[in-house]
Amino acid sequence: MKTFKIGGVHPQANKLSAGQRIQQVALPTQAVILLDQHLGAPATPIVAIGDSVKVGQLIAAPTGFMSANVHSSVSGTVTKIDTVTDAWGRHSPAITIDVEADHWLESIDRTPEINRICRLSKEEIIKKIQNAGIVGLGGACFPTHIKLMPPPGKIAEVLIVNAVECEPYLTCDHQLMMEHGEEIFIGISILMKALAVQKTLIGIENNKKDVIDYFQRLANRHFGIEVVPLKMCYPQGGEKQLIDALIGRQVPSGALPIEVGAVVQNVATTFAVYEAVQKNKPLIERVMTVTGKEVKNPGNFLIRFGTPLMAAVEMAGGIPENTGKIIGGGPMMGRAYMNTDVPASKRTSGLLFMPEQDSLREEPQNCIRCGKCISACPMGLEPYLLTNLSERGLYNDLEKNGIMDCIECGCCLFSCPSHRPLLDYVRQGKATVGGIIRARNAKK
């Protein structure tokens, strides 16, 4: 079975919510729509207080090249345009809408029929995706239309669909694939047209046998799409690792996947593309997982952006008694929330409740030079060394030792028997070195 070549670890999968049907979260009375739901600059509001808006209406436009449209996910009246505190205590610009009824824009096709035929040109498709405010739903929230326009001189050869979902606990992609497989395949065909590629590889981790079977049947009916089961190993779904596993090419340090002819899209993104292009529906909702060992009914929930996350949590049985930590995303790369009074956004792939006893790290001991962090690192780095150099502030050496290659997957810290806070230091060093590199490039 295919897999990436260097490093990797095997965390317990704990897919507690696997097989749970997607449930719709009820509309809130007030929706808080964040304007920085994507990588890049926050969008600029184009509505004013007092305006009434419909579901799917554009309410904020991109600020510059690296940014994305934001649409209203509810209908009602704009009551506030200001900043709110997000899950990590940062201030984030947002539009608050008091919800009245559920009126959608007429242009949006809300029928359940599957619309298979797409006669649009490449440019029209990309335009529609851009207008719909679609971003990568795998976590980074990179605006999708930018990925579909390779820089001059670079040619996309293959589309890679990331359906790995290697993060423990999360099942939102898995369930979406089981319930909307046909739409996903249409979305993929549309993306193939937009990229003018003849070939798509869908990488799925081998623990999702049901999806693999189902998708292999669907693939027989679609030209050029191949389903590839991948060995269970974290981070199989890391962009560079996935490309390596599927086409055996390693993206060089500092380069983008297009360098080796690949464009990677998350599977949930392909579904959003289907809805945008075939149904005229902008990105206003997503599926998220609410889970945890003590959560009463772990499940997968379709939630409109702007809905308080707690609404989904209530449906899963509420916050467990002995919760010590709440994580946005999975346990390997997710971020611990400081504040749970926050709305859903394009970024929210899941909410994981960790019981108190699992929430604290063990006390670090001396490095015993066992080299386990080196064998675990999927980028072939020496995390113990990066940590050491970062502690001592030796930024030149950090750069030479490849700190910018670190994908922050957490494999090093996960496997260190001495519980050294490796990634904490690596992250710090990486931020500083990144700043130095940017400053250096700016001077040139």
Which of 2, 54, 231, 325 binds other proteins (CB under 8 A)? It is: 325
Instruction: Give the nearer residue to ligand SF4 in terms of CB position, either 185 or 425.
Output: 425
Distance CA 236, CA 231 (A): 8
Closest by CA position to 93, among listed 32, 181, 3: 32
3-state secondary structure of 169: coil
Tokens of 161: 């669909």
Instruction: Give the nearer residue to other proteins in terms of CB position, either 366 or 441.
Output: 366
C-beta of residue 242 within 8 angstroms of C-beta of residue 160? yes
Query: What, of ligand SF4, other proteins, none, does residue 406 touch, CB below 5 to 8 Å by kind?
Result: ligand SF4
Instruction: Give the nearer residue to ligand SF4 in terms of CB position, either 6 or 108.
Output: 6
Instruction: Give the nearer residue to ligand SF4 in terms of CB position, either 308 or 383.
Output: 383
**Cβ–Cβ contacts within 10 Å for residue 388, how many?**
18
Distance CA 221, CA 237 (A): 26
Query: What, of other proteins, ligand SF4, none, does residue 426 touch, CB below 5 to 8 Å by kind?
Result: ligand SF4
Query: What, of ligand SF4, other proteins, none, does residue 19 touch, CB below 5 to 8 Å by kind?
Result: none
Closest by CA position to 434, among listed 409, 408, 410: 408
357: contact with other proteins by CB under 8 A: no
Distance CA 23, CA 351 (A): 15
State the distance between the two ends of the chain, measured CA to CA, in whole angstroms: 46
Which of 107, 121, 253, 396 binds other proteins (CB under 8 A)? It is: 253
Residues in contact with other proteins, shown as a per-residue x/- string from 12 to 41 under the rule CB under 8 A:
x-----------------------------
Contact window for other proteins (CB under 8 A) among 155-163, 195-203, 219-227, 362-370: 362-370
Closest by CA position to 351, among listed 302, 311, 406, 309: 309
Which of 157, 317, 324, 395 binds other proteins (CB under 8 A)? It is: 324
Q: Which helix (H) or strand (E) holds 258?
A: none
Q: How far is the CB of 230 from other proteins (least distance, A)?
A: 17
**Cβ–Cβ contacts within 10 Å for residue 10, how many?**
10
Query: What, of ligand SF4, other proteins, none, does residue 420 touch, CB below 5 to 8 Å by kind?
Result: ligand SF4
Instruction: Give the nearer residue to other proteins in terms of CB position, either 133 or 410.
Output: 410
Residue 281 amino acid letter: K
Q: How far is the CB of 423 from other proteins (least distance, A)?
A: 7
3-state secondary structure 317-356: CCCCCCEEEEEECCCCCCEECCCCCCECCCCCCEEEEEEH
384: contact with other proteins by CB under 8 A: yes
Q: How far is the CB of 415 from other proteins (least distance, A)?
A: 5
Which of 249, 311, 314, 437 binds other proteins (CB under 8 A)? It is: 249
The size of the chain, in residues, is: 444
Q: How far is the CB of 3 from other proteins (least distance, A)?
A: 14
As to burial, measured by CB atoms within 10 angstroms (0-12 exposed, 13-18 middle, 19+ buried), residue 221 is exposed
The radius of gyration of the chain from alpha carbons, rounded to an integer in Å, stands at 22
Instruction: Give the nearer residue to ligand SF4 in terms of CB position, either 154 or 369.
Output: 369
| DSSP state at residue 259 | G
Tokens of 174: 């898995």
382: contact with other proteins by CB under 8 A: yes
Instruction: Give the nearer residue to ligand SF4 in terms of CB position, either 398 or 412.
Output: 412
- Chain positions contacting ligand SF4, by CB under 6 A: 367-373, 376-379, 381, 383-384, 406-412, 416-418, 420, 422-423, 426
Query: What, of other proteins, ligand SF4, none, does residue 24 touch, CB below 5 to 8 Å by kind?
Result: none
| DSSP state at residue 361 | P
C-beta of residue 359 within 8 angstroms of C-beta of residue 330? no
List residues near other proteins by CB under 8 A.
6, 9-12, 168, 240, 244, 249-253, 255, 319, 321-327, 331-338, 340, 352, 354, 356, 358-362, 365-372, 374-375, 377-382, 384, 402, 405, 408, 410, 413-419, 423-424, 427
